[in-house]
Structure 1
């Protein structure tokens, strides 16, 4: 009764009721609201979005008024306005809301705007083996680094195609020198990986010469497997376990296409054939008892026992269209991630079965893959650009629009994400989705980057009629302290989860 009487007397006297959020007017007919903003770590010169909502029990809000505290009396009457701070500093942002009765509430928050973070890089060298290419190298291809610092990359489709090569380069610091280049006789449509003995594994498009093992020192062919029971491969970088066993798929469905495992000596351990094509780079579980691979014919994920090749799950699980190309990855909790042409998918291995944890519609993510930042956020390339997802439920946090083709991102320890573009740039974006830099590299597709422990980035790109390898030195950098910061998890592309 006391509140009603006070209100009645106030209205008779024509008094305006102004209620701040922290005053003690008992909320008499006052609206109530709160606001937030994005990005959460804003920087100077970058547009911010402020967004407000009524709080529970609020009177209906009819007016929204913002004061941005920038010393220029900048204001807005929109509910969710954009605003850009031109200088770093801490600003007091005031949101005042009003209801139809004229009662107001004021909410004040401090916003700290930082300087644009320094990103110092040097394009140290570019190297070309001068083999003409007839079309783009596979975008998901990434360089691999040996224990002695040798950098291995591929010239994916030489001219003629039989000239496609695996190339080894000695990094001399300021320059690079050819160590060896080995032609593998057919189109290479995947990235290499490095075995436990320092050898190089690479798949080719050729049905009769599908899997090569090359000597890392001189490039000589140690063994080659193909012919009956094995068909050509695409988008399937071999995974290598701690014992040196190799796992890879093939690009044909039947009768002999499938999924295969080999010993380091080249003996076939097991095969799964006649069940679909496996256009994917597999991933190993932490205990290496299971290898996961994407069946592109079904559009579903398989869990396979590494010992004998038996299918672990009685039914394959997954969503999305059957499109090839995904580079599988894994979270620290064992969640498996893969991409299709329409979705990014997270799968939980429950032992005897697998289950979809979540799936998120992302156009054209098929031939990329998911990597993980130090804060746990997920990143993938797509035809939309670079996409950041919440690992808990797959919701999209942000998208940085750019033109990308098959590049798998890499994340450094400062939270910066690197993704190759189709127009000759390695694009660097921070963890809030804000552009940090565009590093010019050639004039065509830039592939999947590899980040070494000292912050060096190696990446392949198209320049004119050649594939080039680039070395970029980034100050105060290195791979993110996360479970899966780049394609294949490490600089050897082994896809080991240990």
Structure 2
């Protein structure tokens, strides 16, 4: 009898298989699906795309029914619907699928909708023109610096010509020239302010490679050059709390290298004949170590500030040549640098360093990494403004624009400011959405600086002149983060404390 039952069941299944189409067979397998959504961190009022796929081994799906979990009970029967949440909050989204045979499967995920960022209320207050004719904006991600008395210092320079350091007094609705000083050669970087309030600037000139200017009247207090010290490009001087200066040269051999000077201009130590250092250094919190990128090697050096000896047994990095990177440091001591192909995170393990991660980001070399209050990293690149996750370097989003040698700056409301190559200061939210554009000139806009009251100062090429702009931003200020802008602070010192 059992044999008969088995034979009858076998015949029945054969008849079903013979009489059914392939799709009908799929209906006999229960459906199973998974879903996700983009953007990963949506905000209220932003359109969200939900997309679903059949799981491995799932049968065919005939209907897709979404419940978005809002107060209205909003639904959709599309496979990949768009939906906009009107309010911030956490929503339980449920997708129910059914096959032709009536079998169902249900899956739920929580979706966190963030509130809209604080509205950006900002406007251009003034522009200042010192009427120095140039053919292009100075290179090296130049950014204004701000003294304790509120004086703003910025640079005017063009390739192969005499550069100027310009001091401007902000008088509220207007600006007034305080002084302007020629430095005898081309400048391709940004200035720094020492603890004594005086200005440091690197030039291309071997005889006057680094200069200290009086912050009050611009007189040259001393120059560091000759005796094996060579000119600099794309490297802003780092200055420790004692006023010691750290300077990299643009030459390789025999005398190119990395140097330190005392506040009074004496050479403290030098590392020469090892490659060019087209980078702005960064100091450790205890100021015992200065980190700098050897651009011939494409690797990071860790140098003892006291005597110029190497802290690590060997340099560390991706090994690809680059120049113009502005180094930065996170709260946990991670050092970031950029190349034409990567953003690189380096860990200092004491006597050795190690690559923590590297992310493929084309054309980031002449920008630099800054850090938002939420820990996200931002850099300029060939594709535009890029946001990365600090844990692994994964790209969160990219805001498309053309930028050249602009290091972004982040304010306390999460807005990121970056200069474009076509005359705009572009402001993007922490979710990668455009907040505002300020048309400033006809060419490149350099790296912005955010004052403590939220005011943004930035240089832009306008015709044949470099202009300094003041942009007032309500209820703002630098992000409360380890590194919110180029050089970390408004003095561009690269100090981390």
Is the TM value for this pair above 0.5? yes
The question of whether the paired residues in 2 share the 8 Å contact of 1:201 and 1:212 is answered with: yes
Distance between the aligned counterparts of 2:50 and 2:275, measured in 1?
49
Distance between the aligned counterparts of 1:417 and 1:60, measured in 2?
46
SS in 1 for 2:215: coil
Corresponding residue for residue 419 of structure 1: 418
Corresponding residue for residue 105 of structure 1: 105
The question of whether the paired residues in 2 share the 8 Å contact of 1:276 and 1:296 is answered with: yes
SS in 1 for 2:317: coil
Residues 68 and 404 of structure 1, relative CA distance in 2, 3 Å threshold: farther
The question of whether the paired residues in 2 share the 8 Å contact of 1:139 and 1:446 is answered with: no
How far has the Cα of 1:251 moved from its partner?
A: 0.3
Structure ID, larger Rg:
2
The question of whether the paired residues in 2 share the 8 Å contact of 1:276 and 1:298 is answered with: yes
How far has the Cα of 1:52 moved from its partner?
A: 3.9
**Correspondence 1:180-219 to 2 at 5 A:** 180-219=179-218
Distance between the aligned counterparts of 2:471 and 2:39, measured in 1?
31
Deviates more, 1:337-346 or 1:394-403: 394-403
The question of whether the paired residues in 2 share the 8 Å contact of 1:337 and 1:345 is answered with: yes
Distance between the aligned counterparts of 1:96 and 1:278, measured in 2?
59
**Correspondence 1:84-99 to 2 at 5 A:** 85=84, 94-99=94-99
How far has the Cα of 1:65 moved from its partner?
A: 2.8
Residues 111 and 198 of structure 1, relative CA distance in 2, 3 Å threshold: closer
Corresponding residue for residue 270 of structure 1: 269
Residues 132 and 64 of structure 1, relative CA distance in 2, 3 Å threshold: farther
The question of whether the paired residues in 2 share the 8 Å contact of 1:85 and 1:113 is answered with: no
Distance between the aligned counterparts of 1:425 and 1:479, measured in 2?
20
How far has the Cα of 1:192 moved from its partner?
A: 0.3
Distance between the aligned counterparts of 1:115 and 1:397, measured in 2?
18
Corresponding residue for residue 476 of structure 1: 475
The question of whether the paired residues in 2 share the 8 Å contact of 1:137 and 1:462 is answered with: no
The question of whether the paired residues in 1 share the 8 Å contact of 2:373 and 2:412 is answered with: yes
Corresponding residue for residue 12 of structure 2: none
Corresponding residue for residue 438 of structure 1: 437
Residues 89 and 210 of structure 1, relative CA distance in 2, 3 Å threshold: closer
Corresponding residue for residue 130 of structure 2: 129
Distance between the aligned counterparts of 1:87 and 1:290, measured in 2?
50
How far has the Cα of 1:38 moved from its partner?
A: 1.7
Q: Which runs of 5+ in 1 are unaligned?
A: 1-27
Residues 202 and 89 of structure 1, relative CA distance in 2, 3 Å threshold: closer
Corresponding residue for residue 326 of structure 1: 325
Distance between the aligned counterparts of 1:472 and 1:256, measured in 2?
43
Residues 220 and 113 of structure 1, relative CA distance in 2, 3 Å threshold: closer
CA RMSD of aligned residues (A): 2.7
Distance between the aligned counterparts of 2:62 and 2:199, measured in 1?
66
**Correspondence 1:23-102 to 2 at 5 A:** 29=30, 31-44=32-45, 46-52=46-52, 59-60=58-59, 62=61, 65=64, 67=66, 75=76, 77-79=78-80, 81=81, 83=82, 85=84, 94-99=94-99, 101-102=101-102
The question of whether the paired residues in 2 share the 8 Å contact of 1:189 and 1:233 is answered with: yes
The question of whether the paired residues in 1 share the 8 Å contact of 2:31 and 2:105 is answered with: yes
Residues 226 and 115 of structure 1, relative CA distance in 2, 3 Å threshold: closer
- The answer to whether 1:145 aligns with 2:118 is no
> CA offsets, 1:402-422, max 9 Å, x none?
111010011111111111101
Residues 115 and 285 of structure 1, relative CA distance in 2, 3 Å threshold: closer
- The answer to whether 1:157 aligns with 2:158 is yes
Q: Which runs of 5+ in 2 are unaligned?
A: 1-28
Distance between the aligned counterparts of 2:30 and 2:76, measured in 1?
25
The question of whether the paired residues in 1 share the 8 Å contact of 2:63 and 2:99 is answered with: no
How far has the Cα of 1:30 moved from its partner?
A: 5.6
Residues 213 and 115 of structure 1, relative CA distance in 2, 3 Å threshold: closer
Distance between the aligned counterparts of 2:226 and 2:136, measured in 1?
26
Q: TM-score, normalised by structure 2?
A: 0.88
Residues 143 and 75 of structure 1, relative CA distance in 2, 3 Å threshold: same
The question of whether the paired residues in 1 share the 8 Å contact of 2:117 and 2:414 is answered with: no
Residues 88 and 243 of structure 1, relative CA distance in 2, 3 Å threshold: same
The question of whether the paired residues in 1 share the 8 Å contact of 2:461 and 2:467 is answered with: yes
Residues 76 and 409 of structure 1, relative CA distance in 2, 3 Å threshold: farther
Deviates more, 1:190-199 or 1:88-97: 88-97
How far has the Cα of 1:240 moved from its partner?
A: 0.4
Residues 373 and 258 of structure 1, relative CA distance in 2, 3 Å threshold: same
**Correspondence 1:252-331 to 2 at 5 A:** 252-331=251-330
> CA offsets, 1:209-241, max 9 Å, x none?
110100000000000111231111001100000
- The answer to whether 1:372 aligns with 2:371 is yes
